[in-house]
Amino acid sequence: MYKVLLKIDGMSCSMCEAHMNDTIRSRYSVNKLKSSFKKGTTEFLVQEAPSEEDLRALIDPTGYRLIS
């Protein structure tokens, strides 16, 4: 398992966290998925490490921005 920690810009409430979690789940089979608008992070466990390019393609259209 790979632990993925993303810095996300643009989340401002718990609904943003839910939207980000739904977005990640739509593409990856994940465990222990958690987003925090206060910290500006999304963290999850996944079998195969996703590429930054794939993550950007998934997240950028949502209106949030992947920082790292």
- Is the whole-model pTM more than 0.95? no
Complete edge-to-edge strand list for the sheet that includes strand 41-46:
30-36, 41-46, 2-9, 65-66
Question: How confident is the model at residue 26, as a pLDDT?
Answer: 96
pLDDT recorded at residue 60: 95
> Going from the N-terminus, what domains does the chain have, and what CATH number goes with each?
2-66 (3.30.70.100)
Give pLDDT, residue 19: 98
**2-51 tens-digit pLDDT:** 999 999 999 999 999 999 999 999 999 999 999 999 999 999 999 999 99
